[in-house]
Structures are given as structure tokens and as C-alpha cells.
């Protein structure tokens, strides 16, 4: 149906023309489009499919003159390096080339084409620009999908840096022109669409029975059959006969023409119709995608899946698969080395129980037909601008409260409640804490340590005590919710000691990214913390998970030390809940493997890379302290420090893990040294180029105090009391913070390049001054008279500058500011200076690095932090608070000038400023005085300083609500403080033996 000046122009129900755009990501989209298109054609309509997929995907199922295929690729989807690996940067680059650079030309071409075919409706799965082209052509458009590209690309932007962020917003804006969304089961959050119609699974029909397919293949019913299905990306799989259990056969999809297979593997043709083969198999082994999951559920086929890297769609489909008892997760390592048997045998014991509809294609086609003739399925009360405004809600990250598992369909209803304010009264909190303490002492005998009255520690012990009562209830919902706890329930021997450590996240009050330049920093440990429980177990007594036992059996090992880790909260992101490895994997002969080898070890499977933060502490202890681990180790990690908010969730995990492991092995490591060891984990094993302030605060901080530290490399100069009239808050922007992305790394490199240049300039000036003290000759455009007589000693120090923050602001301005370039190409720098002398970053020859702003920031930041620290001890006055706030504002804008920051954090700082300078605030005593972005990276949390009073809290809540009104996202608030790991110490506990009832 076309739109003419806002009035509907009716089309004929008998013959409609549909333009159906299909995204270029894999075959899954094309295969589900086939089913919708088939029903549209059966109803007598013409369908023009715009796709980059091969023709056979459509023509083998639809033979009709009403099907028109136009081979055009208008978006690239996610670029995959192989069947399991999405290349995030390549995806964004390809999308820029495919859809951004030629955007004007694409729109003009598509509008002309839509008019030429006289399209009545544009359907998109899920090509963004198709919605905009339809709007420009005056045609209604509808999307049919279970995910949208703004949500998928949001994760990639964190790795790509600031310059690609506009892609996410452009995609969301394109989708906002869509009339409504026909949403498929297993859907992701799609905030760019506000009007939604849900339909059942879209599944391709069967052409042949199970018996017919097996007869054609020559496979009897007594043979177990697995279909190996990793989509359209050939991966050069090296398959061996022993990968399969005896009497099993495997059907291989997507094998290359020259690939030779063992006799128990059968190569399928490229254009084979897979639904028939899926229904004829006993289970499927592959990666999760809409096509594989929907057909596995529809035909009740157990699905052994291996996680795919960096694809945000996967957790939602995985939850749906497991909800209906249809899924078994295989660790990628076991896939590659052929430990398939325990997974396949587990799969065929499942009884998938999906009973929902599988006629989504037919229903979607009927909705599309009715829409094309003018029927309004949805109201027009929400404009495209309103839809776009809400795109920030979930467009940048999958946001969930730690420790909670959420049903897929409940997302929108639950999100605000879960992110809401804590409303419990102090009295009820005290009562609850007292009750928890009593129950904890009943559950465990505390042999060493103190609970410190921390309710989160009591909660952790309570959840730990409940593990030995967990059993497999058999209920679908309970099994899905308790998956992590079921794995954790086998970790510990309850008759032996367990060691528990706790480490908080931190709020960066002042210092931020100046830490790696040697600055003074002021950091506050927050209330949210990570708990880690560790137990040493003799290898012969350890309960191994099935795949680990199978690995041991294959190696012929009786009892070797094994590390097993369970991490609560895997549903928060696309990562596995468990990790295990033989501790011998950390050894190369008699010596530990290198950090570089460890980095590669964990990078092989990004869904388990999280384990590098935990297991990496073991390798660092082996390497740096010469410790050898002869017992198996069981570790349970439970962190309430939200990820991606700039409050050091990774440091909390590292510090808590190393503290618990050290306690379990009788190692006495002081908090400062432990923090430095944890930094090695992050820098060298995880591969994130962070400074040391995060680990130091988590290890050495104390509640309600600021840790003052000079990062050269880590000299704690004391704890600074927060005056009782001052309070700090953290407000989360909802935009994921990352120090692993190019923004943070590029600024760090630019800073070290600036230091190298300053040292070089100082050396040149010193050499010139010594050799030509009375000369007026020019040297590189520098006149020696510019130098004062006393500059020689200063230049000598500056020529060997160890930390950039040791250069004072006035020296920087008088000598170096005008001589530093704004930016420099990496290759040009290396050619002139050879190296930037930073062991944790690598210069890209082709990248242009900002130098001046990056070098200037830490020099001035060090001065600001010193001034801030001094002001904290000044007399209580508005002038004191205004000066403290001004220093924070200056820090924020200096930070932004480096190329960091984000729209969200800038908006929050502006809201604080507006609140501070409002007429109402001025008419009363001001309560909020300053704000700044925290930590490193380009998103995360803003730190706010204010007067410690009720009105301040009210204003913080007002800012929280204003931010939600503007963006749709309700910020998480960080309030309160708690002790660091050193102050907490450790708990040594043992399960109390309950008296038997007689």
C-alpha cells in the first residue's frame, strides 16, 4: 500500500507486489524468508526478493513465475572469519563500505526501483536502509526478524572506537521508519521498534519422511545419526573417525569440495535441503542461529551447540533452546580436539518438549497481505522520533542486574524494576542483616576471618550453603534457572575447608587515565563486590564434569590436577558458565608457559575468555612467585560489580580470585604486591592495557575513604577521609565502557608517544644549550635565547623523564606545548623515534594518533588531583565544594579532548551542571557541585560530588529520571562504599554437620 499525502491508497487484495529485502548475513535469514515468500506467492502475489544469497536457497523450494530474485547486497551483516568467529572490526568496516559510503546512491536507486515495480509493501529481514527507502518512496514497510543490527553492532562498537558509533544510530533511525515489527520467537531487545506483533516459529516444511531420507542415505534405524551443521561458512574442519561413538554416522553440511572425510562421515551437497535431514537425524551439532534452533525445536531434535564469538543474538536463542530441554553446550576446545562422545550421548538422552506453533511463515504472510491492502495493525501514537529516542535503552549493551536470570519475553516489563532504586529502609536492612548473620553461622563454621557485617558476604555464604541441597528438579524452568548452580553444586567437598575472599569495584573520583603516566589518583571502593570461593582437592577426590572426565580417560590419566571454575551470571552476556582445564596446560616442561601463550590459549574461545581473569591469577603466581600447584582447584565466582560501567569489574574478579587462591595455599601476599600481580593478569594474559589503580583500590582500599596513590608504579601514600559534609555518587550512562577498545589504547599510545617526543626535545635542547651557550644560531627552528640559564638541570631531568606526570604544567607550557604535534601517523613516529616504550601497547603504522591532547591530559590531571586532595582538608564551605567540583569538570573536558568520552556521559555531566546552576538551586543552598567521567574507555559511569544531605539525593534522583526521559535508559546508581580485599582478609569456612533427626 502506497501513501499519498497521508491518505491511504488501497491496493487489490487479489494481486499485490511485495519487495522483500534480505540481509547478507548467512543463509538463515534467506531460509526463513523462503517460508514467508512461499505463502505470499500461494496467495497469488508477486514477490521481488532483494538478496545476496544464492538463488538455489529460494528456487529449490519455490518454483513460480511470481518469484523475482534481484541480486543486490545492501548490508553485510556480521563478517565471519570462520564458522564460529565474528570479526567485529571487519563487520563495521564492511558495513561502512556496503551501506554507509554509498548511502545516498543506494536510497536513490532503491526509491526508483520500488516505484518501477509499483511495490505495495516493503518487507525487511532485516536490512535497515530498506525501511528508509520505503519511506522516501511513500510506501509502508514492515520488518520480520528476531534481532536488529543496531543491537548486534552495539557490541562491536566497543572494540572499534568512537568513529563507528554513528553506524548504530543510523541503523536505529532507519528502523524507526518501519511501520511495525513482526517479531519471531527467541528475540533480542529491539528498542528501535515500538510496535510489535509476535508470531510463532517460522520453519521450513518437510518434503520427505525420516524413513525416506534414511533409505536414500543407506542408513538403518539402528544407526545413530548426527548432522554437523555450522551454516554457510566452510571452516576446513579436520574430522576424524574416532570423534564419533561406535555405530554413529555424521552428515556434514558445508564441507569443501576437496575435503576428505572418514568413512563414518557423509558429505552433503551444497544445495541439500537440510530440514529433511535434520528431521531424520538423532541430534545436531553446530552453532546457534535462528534457522538451526527453530528447526531443531520444530522437529524435536536435540542440539549440541558451540558458542559463537561476539553475536548478541545467541544468548536469547540459547535460552529458548534450553527452556524446551533441547540443548547441550559443547566447549569449543572439545569440538576441535574431538571429545564429542559425552555430549552426543547426553544429547540423545534429552526429550525436547517444544509444542508451540511452527506456522509463523503463514501467519506473517497473512499480516503482510492485510497491511499491504491498508489494514492498520498498530496505532500511530508513537512517532519515529519517539522510537529512536528509546534506542539507547538496549542498543549499546545487554544490560542485566547481576545474579538474575530473566525469561526472554519478560525483558521490557522487568528492565525498569530491576534497575530501580533500592527502597528498603535502614531498619529492615539491619533486621535482614542480623537474620542473615545468624543463618550463616548455622550453615558454616567460620574457622578464620570476620564477616565485617557485610550483607553481601552473608548472602554469598547463604547461596554457598544451598548448593549441597540442589538437585535436578526435572522442571524445564527450574533446570534453566539453576544451570550454573547445578554445575557449582559439584565443585566442593563439603567435609573440607573452603576459602572465601571479597574484593569491591571502585569509583574513580580523580586520576582516571593518568594512572599509567604516574599520576596521583584518588579512588573509592564501592559497595558492590566480587566474592570468590576456592577449595583445594586431591585429584583423586575431585568430582569432574563429564567432558573433563572424558578428556582424562582419552589421555589415560588416573588423577592429575584439574582447575574447575563456575562463574555466576553467564546469562548477563554471551559467555559460558563453566571453565575447566588441566593445570598441566600451564606448564611447558618444568617451566610455566609464557604470558603470550596463555593469552592465545584463552583467546581461542571468546565465550570462555572470561576465565583468563580467574585462571590467569594461577599462572601469574606460578611465574612470578615460583608456586607449583599439585592439587586440583575448584573455584566459584559471584560478582555483583556490574560489567561495562567503568567501575573495575575485572579488577574485582582478579583481586578476589588471587586473594582466595593465595589463602587456600597458605601464601601471605601483602595487598600492594597482590594488586601488582593482578595487573599482570590484566595486561599480559587478558591483554587489556590498564594502569594499576583499579587493582590497588580493590586490594588496598577502605570503606568511606579515598585511596591516594602515586602510580609510579604503585605507591600508596595514604587514605584520605571523605569529609562528612561531602558525598560521592556514581551514575551509569548505559553505554558500555571498555578499556579493550581502540579509543583507550590509542590515547594511551598517544600519551607515550608524547612522552618520547618530550624527552627527545629536552635532549636536543640540552645538547644545543651545552654546545652553543652563547650562540644565536637556530636549531630546528629553536633559538637558544629561548632558554633560561637555569634550564640545563631541568632539561637533564626531562630528557630522562620516567613518568609524564613528573613534568609540571608550567614547564610543559613554557617549553613543550608549542613543539608537540597535534597528531602523528604511527609509521612516521616509529621511523623517527623507533619505539614509544610501552610494554602493553603496539603502535599501528597506519593509525593516526592524537599526541598533544593525550600527553597534556595527565600533566594537568596530576596537578588537579593534588589540588583536589588538598582541598578536601579545607574548611567546609560552598567555595570548597565549588572548587572541588570545578576540578572535576576540568578533568571531564580534558578527558574528552583526548578523543574519549561518550554522548551518554557528556549528557549526565551536563545534567549535573544544569541542576547546579538552576534558579531553584541558586535560591537555596547548592547541593551538587561537579561531575566527571570515570576510569578509562569511552562510556561507563559519571562520578558526581555533592553536599551530603537529603536534597542532594533528591537531585541525583531527578537527574536519573531526566536521563531516562531523554534516552529511555534508567541509570544504575552507585552509592556507598565497602572495604578492599586486604581489609576484608579471607574467610576459612567448613560446612556445619546438621544433626540427624531420629
Residues belonging to the chain: 998
pLDDT at 737: 66
**By the 8 A CB rule, do 229 and 285 touch?**
yes
Mean pLDDT of 434-442: 60
Asked whether this chain's domains 17-203+366-399 and 210-349 adopt the same fold, the reply is yes
pLDDT, greater one: 313 or 842: 842
Q: How many CB atoms lie within 10 A of CB 965?
A: 10
Between the CA of residue 711 and those of 503, 717, 774, what are the distances in Å? Answer: 20, 10, 40
Three cell numbers at 756?
618520547
HEC profile of 603-670: HCCHHHCCHHHHHHHHHHHHHHHCCCCCCEEEEEEEECCCCCCCCCHHHHHHHHHHHHHHHHCCCCCC
Parallel/antiparallel/unpaired status of strands 283-287 and 224-229: parallel
Mean pLDDT of 644-666: 95
Q: What is the CA radius of gyration of the chain?
A: 30
> What whole-number percentage of the chain has pLDDT above 70?
85
Instruction: Say yes or no to pLDDT of 706 above 90.
Output: yes
Three cell numbers at 980?
578492599
pLDDT at 7: 39
Question: What CATH code is assigned to 742-771+794-975?
Answer: 3.30.70.890
pLDDT at 190: 83
Three cell numbers at 140?
509502508
CA max distance for the chain: 103
CATH architecture observed for domain 210-349? 3-Layer(aba) Sandwich (3.40)
Three cell numbers at 254?
558445508
Backbone angles phi, psi at 212, to 5 degrees: -65, -45
CA distance 731 to 806: 32
Three cell numbers at 32?
526463513
Task: Single out the residue of 571, 534, 577, 607 nearest to residue 398, CA to CA.
Answer: 571
Three cell numbers at 505?
569495584
Chain centroid to Cα 858, Å, comes to: 28
Q: What is the mean pLDDT of the chain?
A: 85
pLDDT at 909: 96
Mean pLDDT of 533-550: 88
CA distance 968 to 734: 10
- Which pLDDT band holds residue 749 (cuts at 50, 70, 90)? very high
Which residues, other chains included, contact 882 with Cβ-Cβ below 8 Å and sequence gap of 6+?
Answer: 926, 929
pLDDT at 423: 34
CA distance 336 to 440: 44
Residue 358 class from Cβ within 10 Å (0-12 exposed, 13-18 middle, 19+ buried)? buried
Least confident of 318-327, 394-403, 469-478: 394-403
**DSSP assignment of 111-154:** HHHHHHHT-SEEEEES-HHHHHHHHHHTB-EEEEES--HHHHHH
**By the 8 A CB rule, do 944 and 931 touch?**
yes
CATH architecture observed for domain 17-203+366-399? 3-Layer(aba) Sandwich (3.40)
Report the top-level CATH class of 442-466+484-722.
alpha beta
Apex CA 295: angle with CA 294 and CA 296, to 5°?
95
> What whole-number percentage of the chain has pLDDT above 90?
60
pLDDT at 577: 84
pLDDT at 329: 87
Tell me which residues are annotated as active site. Answer: 694
For residue 977, the 8-state DSSP code is B
Instruction: Say yes or no to pLDDT of 638 above 60.
Output: yes
Task: Single out the residue of 837, 857, 939, 511 nearest to residue 693, CA to CA.
Answer: 511
Place of cell 527502597: 423
At 969 the three-state DSSP class reads coil
pLDDT at 780: 47
Instruction: Say yes or no to pLDDT of 331 above 90.
Output: no
CA distance 348 to 341: 11
CA distance 653 to 505: 9
Domain residue limits, the chain: 17-203+366-399, 210-349, 442-466+484-722, 742-771+794-975
pLDDT at 847: 93
Amino acid at each position: 500500500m502506497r501513501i499519498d499525502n497521508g491518505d491511504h491508497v488501497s491496493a487489490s487484495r487479489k494481486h499485490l507486489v511485495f519487495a522483500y529485502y534480505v540481509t547478507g548475513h548467512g543463509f538463515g535469514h534467506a531460509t526463513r524468508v523462503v517460508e514467508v515468500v512461499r505463502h505470499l506467492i500461494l496467495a497469488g502475489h508477486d514477490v521481488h526478493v532483494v538478496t545476496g544469497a544464492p538463488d538455489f536457497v529460494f528456487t529449490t523450494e519455490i518454483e513460480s513465475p511470481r518469484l523475482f530474485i534481484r541480486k543486490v547486497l545492501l548490508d553485510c551483516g556480521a563478517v565471519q572469519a570462520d564458522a564460529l568467529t565474528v570479526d567485529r572490526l571487519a563487520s563495521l568496516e564492511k558495513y561502512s563500505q556496503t551501506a554507509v559510503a554509498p548511502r545516498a546512491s543506494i536510497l536513490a536507486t532503491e526509491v526508483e526501483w520500488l516505484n518501477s515495480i509499483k511495490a505495495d509493501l516493503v518487507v525487511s529481514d532485516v536490512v535497515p536502509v530498506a525501511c528508509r527507502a520505503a519511506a522516501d518512496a511513500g510506501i509502508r514497510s514492515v520488518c520480520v526478524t528476531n534481532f536488529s543490527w543496531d543491537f548486534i553492532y552495539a557490541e562491536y562498537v566497543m572494540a572499534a572506537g568512537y568513529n563507528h558509533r554513528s553506524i548504530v544510530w543510523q541503523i536505529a533511525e532507519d528502523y524507526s521508519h518501519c511501520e511495525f515489527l513482526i517479531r519471531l520467537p527467541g528475540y533480542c531487545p529491539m528498542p528501535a521498534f515500538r510496535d510489535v506483533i509476535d508470531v510463532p516459529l517460522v520453519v521450513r516444511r518437510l518434503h520427505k519422511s525420516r524413513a525416506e531420507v534414511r533409505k536414500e542415505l543407506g542408513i538403518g534405524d539402528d544407526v545413530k545419526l548426527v548432522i554437523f551443521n555450522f551454516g554457510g561458512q566452510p571452516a576446513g574442519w579436520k574430522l576424524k573417525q574416532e570423534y564419533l561413538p561406535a555405530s554413529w554416522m555424521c552428515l556434514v553440511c558445508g564441507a569443501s569440495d576437496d575435503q576428505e572425510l572418514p568413512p563414518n562421515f557423509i558429505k552433503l551437497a551444497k544445495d541439500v535441503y537440510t530440514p529433511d535431514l535434520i528431521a531424520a537425524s538423532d541430534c545436531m551439532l553446530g552453532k546457534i542461529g535462528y534457522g538451526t534452533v527453530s528447526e531443531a525445536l520444530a522437529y524435536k531434535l536435540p542440539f549440541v551447540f558451540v558458542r559463537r564469538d561476539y553475536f548478541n543474538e545467541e544468548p536469547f536463542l540459547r535460552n529458548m533452546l534450553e527452556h524446551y530441554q533441547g540443548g547441550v553446550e559443547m566447549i569449543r576446545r572439545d569440538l576441535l580436539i574431538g571429545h564429542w562422545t559425552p555430549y552426543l550421548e547426553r544429547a540423545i538422552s534429552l526429550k525436547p518438549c517444544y509444542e508451540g506453533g511452527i506456522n509463523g511463515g503463514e501467519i506473517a504472510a497473512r499480516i503482510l497481505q492485510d497491511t499491504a491492502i491498508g489494514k492498520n495493525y498498530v496505532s500511530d501514537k508513537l512517532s519515529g522520533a519517539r522510537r529512536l529516542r528509546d534506542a539507547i535503552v538496549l542498543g549499546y549493551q545487554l544490560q542485566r542486574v547481576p545474579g538474575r536470570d530473566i525469561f526472554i519475553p519478560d525483558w521490557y516489563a522487568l528492565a525498569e524494576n530491576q534497575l530501580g532504586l533500592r527502597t528498603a529502609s535502614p531498619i529492615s536492612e539491619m533486621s535482614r542483616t542480623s537474620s542473615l548473620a545468624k543463618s550463616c553461622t548455622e550453615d558454616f563454621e567460620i574457622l578464620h576471618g570476620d564477616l565485617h557485617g557485610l550483607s553481601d558476604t552473608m548472602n554469598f555464604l547463604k547461596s554457598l550453603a544451598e548448593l549441597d541441597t540442589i538437585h535436578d528438579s526435572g522442571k524445564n524452568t527450574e533446570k534453566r534457572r539453576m544451570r550454573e548452580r547445578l554445575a557449582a553444586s559439584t565443585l566442593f567437598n563439603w567435609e573440607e575447608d573452603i576459602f572465601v575472599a571479597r574484593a569491591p569495584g571502585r569509583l574513580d573520583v580523580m586520576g582516571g587515565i593518568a594512572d599509567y603516566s604516574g599520576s596521583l589518583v584518588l579512588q573509592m571502593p564501592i559497595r558492590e563486590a566480587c566474592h570468590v570461593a576456592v577449595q583445594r582437592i586431591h585429584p583423586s577426590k575431585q568430582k569432574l564434569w563429564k567432558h573433563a572426565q572424558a578428556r582424562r580417560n582419552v589421555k589415560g590419566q588416573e588423577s592429575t590436577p584439574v582447575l574447575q571454575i563456575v562463574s555466576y551470571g553467564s546469562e548477563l552476556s554471551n559467555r559460558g558458565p563453566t571453565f575447566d582445564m588441566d593445570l598441566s596446560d600451564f606448564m611447558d616442561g618444568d617451566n610455566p608457559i609464557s604470558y603470550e601463550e596463555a593469552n592465545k590459549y584463552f583467546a581461542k574461545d571468546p565465550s570462555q575468555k572470561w576465565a583468563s581473569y580467574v585462571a590467569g591469577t594461577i599462572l601469574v603466581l606460578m611465574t612470578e612467585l615460583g608456586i607449583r600447584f599439585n592439587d586440583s582447584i575448584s573455584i566459584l565466582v559471584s560478582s555483583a560489580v556490574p560489567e561495562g560501567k567503568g567501575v573495575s569489574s575485572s579488577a574485582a574478579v582478579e583481586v578476589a580470585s588471587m586473594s582466595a587462591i593465595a589463602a587456600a595455599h597458605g601464601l601471605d601476599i601483602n595487598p600492594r604486591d597482590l594488586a601488582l600481580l593482578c595487573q599482570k593478569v590484566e595486561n599480559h594474559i587478558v591483554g587489556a592495557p590498564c594502569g594499576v589503580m583499579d587493582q590497588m583500590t580493590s586490594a588496598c582500599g577502605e570503606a568511606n575513604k579515598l585511596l591516594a596513590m602515586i602510580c609510579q608504579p604503585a605507591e600508596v601514600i595514604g587514605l584520605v577521609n571523605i569529609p562528612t559534609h561531602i558525598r560521592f555518587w556514581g551514575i551509569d550512562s548505559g553505554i558500555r565502557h571498555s578499556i579493550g577498545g581502540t579509543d583507550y589504547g590509542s590515547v594511551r599510545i598517544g600519551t607515550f608517544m608524547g612522552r618520547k617526543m618530550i624527552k627527545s626535545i629536552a635532549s636536543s635542547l640540552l645538547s644545543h644549550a651545552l654546545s652553543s651557550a652563547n650562540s644565536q644560531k637556530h636549531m630546528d627552528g629553536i633559538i637558544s635565547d629561548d632558554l633560561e640559564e637555569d634550564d640545563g638541570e631541568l632539561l637533564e631531568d626531562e630528557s630522562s623523564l620516567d613518568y609524564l606526570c613528573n613534568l609540571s604544567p608550567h614547564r610543559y607550557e613554557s617549553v613543550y606545548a608549542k613543539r608537540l604535534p597535534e597528531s602523528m601517523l604511527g609509521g612516521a613516529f616509529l621511523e623517527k623515534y623507533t619505539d614509544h616504550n610501552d610494554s602493553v601497547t603496539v603502535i599501528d603504522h597506519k593509525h593516526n594518533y592524537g599526541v598533544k591532547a593525550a600527553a597534556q591530559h595527565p600533566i594537568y590531571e596530576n596537578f588537579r588531583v593534588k589540588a583536589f586532595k588538598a582541598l578536601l582538608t579545607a574548611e567546609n564551605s560552598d567555595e570548597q565544594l565549588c572548587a572541588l567540583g570545578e576540578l572535576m569538570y576540568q578533568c571531564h573536558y580534558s578527558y574528552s579532548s583526548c578523543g574519549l568520552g561518550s554522548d551518554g556521559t557528556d549528557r549526565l555531566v551536563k545534567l549535573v551542571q544544569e541542576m547546579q546552576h538552576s534558579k531553584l538551586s541558586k535560591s537555596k543552598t547548592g547541593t551538587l557541585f561537579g561531575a566527571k567521567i570515570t576510569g578509562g574507555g569511552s562510556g561507563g559511569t559519571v562520578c558526581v560530588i555533592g553536599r551530603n544531605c537529603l536534597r542532594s539525593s533528591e537531585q541525583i534522583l531527578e537527574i536519573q529520571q531526566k536521563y531516562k526521559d531523554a534516552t529511555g535508559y534508567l541509570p544504575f546508581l552507585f552509592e556507598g562504599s565497602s572495604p578492599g580485599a586486604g581489609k576484608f582478609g579471607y574467610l576459612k569456612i567448613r560446612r556445619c554437620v546438621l544433626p540427624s533427626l531420629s
